Amino acid sequence: MARPKQAIINDLMGELDKFGGHITNIRDAIQSKGVTSEGKLFKFAEEINNIEPASTYGYILDAVKGAYSKGYSDSELVGIINNLANKNQPPQPQPGPNPAPAFDAATATEIPARQFYGRSDLEGELTCPNVVKVGAEAFIGCEYSVVKLTKATEIDKEAFKFSQIKVLSIPNFVWKDSNLDLRDVYENKYGLNKIVVADESVPPSDISLNKVDFEVYNHDETKKWDIYRNVWKPV
């Protein structure tokens, strides 16, 4: 059976009364946010949209908007935030670089580049009976005065430059074509007093012009290089 028209009208009026109460609540809430609309719905929408958040997090929201403008998505921003370090925990010590392995002169087969770089605490004599290769700048600033590398055949040109070495024994190394830089810390071209090299060596011809007391010997020291005539002579 259909409801009487009056009952339907009464229900509608009741709903309108309720709606009026809701409108009042909405008005009060919007006014508390600073809206002063002229009463036009479209202006209401514009004004509500432009309300600055009354929050201490407003600058964060601005940063989020900036991130959106740079192409970041919600999931990316959430991932960044979730992965932030916990500042409430004390910082954990970070592992440092692995220390260089200790150099064993008795067993080493190579002296890596810069192995003794700046080691002014290393003095006296260094003997490495098994080293065959010496890297660049291995002895710069080092204060070894005597270095003996009896098997070395691969020596970088700058291995001994700017060192304090006075006696260098490399009897298996062929010294020629200026393939060794022997400048000392004072930029003297030849800082050594004595060097022992392979018999096939042809030392530079300018030794007599730079250091007349520089002694050059063959592998077993049975011959000495004549720095004036540039030939080997029996001792």
Cα-Cα-Cα-Cα torsion 226, 227, 231, 232, nearest 10 degrees, comes to 40
Burial class of 194 by CB neighbour count within 10 A (0 to 12, 13 to 18, 19+): middle
Q: What is the pLDDT of residue 85?
A: 76
pLDDT tens-digit profile of 79-137? 888 887 777 776 666 665 555 568 999 999 999 999 999 998 999 999 999 999 999 99
Q: Which helix (H) or strand (E) holds 62?
A: helix 58-69
Percent share of the chain, pLDDT over 90:
51
Task: State how far Cα 125 lies from the chain centre.
Answer: 35
pLDDT of residue 107: 96
What pLDDT tens digit does each residue of the chain (235 aa) get?
566 666 666 666 666 566 555 556 656 655 665 555 555 545 655 665 665 555 556 677 778 788 888 888 888 878 888 887 777 776 666 665 555 568 999 999 999 999 999 998 999 999 999 999 999 999 999 999 999 999 999 999 999 999 999 999 999 999 998 899 999 988 999 999 999 999 999 999 999 999 999 999 999 999 999 999 999 999 9
Q: Per-residue pLDDT tens for 111-121?
A: 999 999 999 89
